[in-house]
Structure 1
Amino acid sequence: MTTIYDFSPAGADGIPHPLSDYSDKVLLIVNTASRCGFTPQYEGLETLWRKYRSAGLVVLAFPCNQFGAQEPGTSDEIARFCTMNYAVTFPILAKIDVNGPKAEPLYGYLKQERPGLFGSRAIKWNFTKFLVGRNGRVLARYSPRTTPTALERDVTAALGGG
């Protein structure tokens, strides 16, 4: 049976980032962009990360330029933007595609496990979020409009605190 731990997407440095390193953690995986109307969600993601990381939450950002060319920067530019504007300290991995023939395999798995509205497997926009339990199974998928604050109850439940 496949779990999230079977994937090793590239880190921002291009080196494989094995998700097995997060065994027994709760993951919040988000495709992000720096020039999107939802970009201020970085602040809420950072708040969740800081509040719950000691309990086992890991937020993973995957920059993506597939929606309105809203993430045109290099890995260094993206990291600098996130740090300077939103004080982001959670991991930001390599820029990826989430749809199409060059889609990151992790996203193929996420979309298969938790299709979107009406069974659609496509990611529709930046800041689509996936919550993954400690066992490596995908628990939920959230639309870009769902704010990080609105996820707190589900996050605490996945962590075992609610």
Structure 2
Amino acid sequence: VVAETAAAADAAARLVQVEYDILPAVFDPEEARTPGAPVLHPGRTPEDRVADASRNVVAQLHDGHGGDIDATLSASAVTVSGTWQTSRVTHAQLETHGAVGWLDEDGRLVIRSSTQVPFLTRDELAHVFDLPRENVRVFAARVGGGFGGKQEIFTEDLVALAVL
């Protein structure tokens, strides 16, 4: 709920009715990549920033270094293979996530945010809202302590939606 006052937001939130559709689920990343697993992002393409929706692969990294992996492994004195897991890790930023927004006198969307990556945030907002990049301005306060946890859209899209 987006509102101009806390009281209006509270009143509007009380009017919200939620209806859930129970969909097939998958709870293991390896299971999610198997053929026949429920597709989590149907119809998404790399243009939508989803690497391979049919295999539930949202992102892929390629370091660009080629080479013959099989030959390298064969020539290695020792190889180790297995599957290792760690518990979930989350950042604990020193500052809160926050954003405010408005349209400037030229009609450009302006977002002031606690993001660590204002240019990426600008590009993401332009993509999400189908706006020219030059019509989106994002700037961040000089505050540190994000530790890498503020490198994606978190609140900025919601603020932009309210502004637009």
TM-score by shorter chain over 0.5 = no
- Interval of TM-score (by shorter of Structure 1 and Structure 2): under 0.3
Between structure 1 and structure 2, the one with the greater Rg is 2
| TM-score normalised according to structure 2 size | 0.19
Q: Which has the higher helix share?
A: 1
Taking structure 1 as the reference length, what is the TM-score of the superposition? 0.20
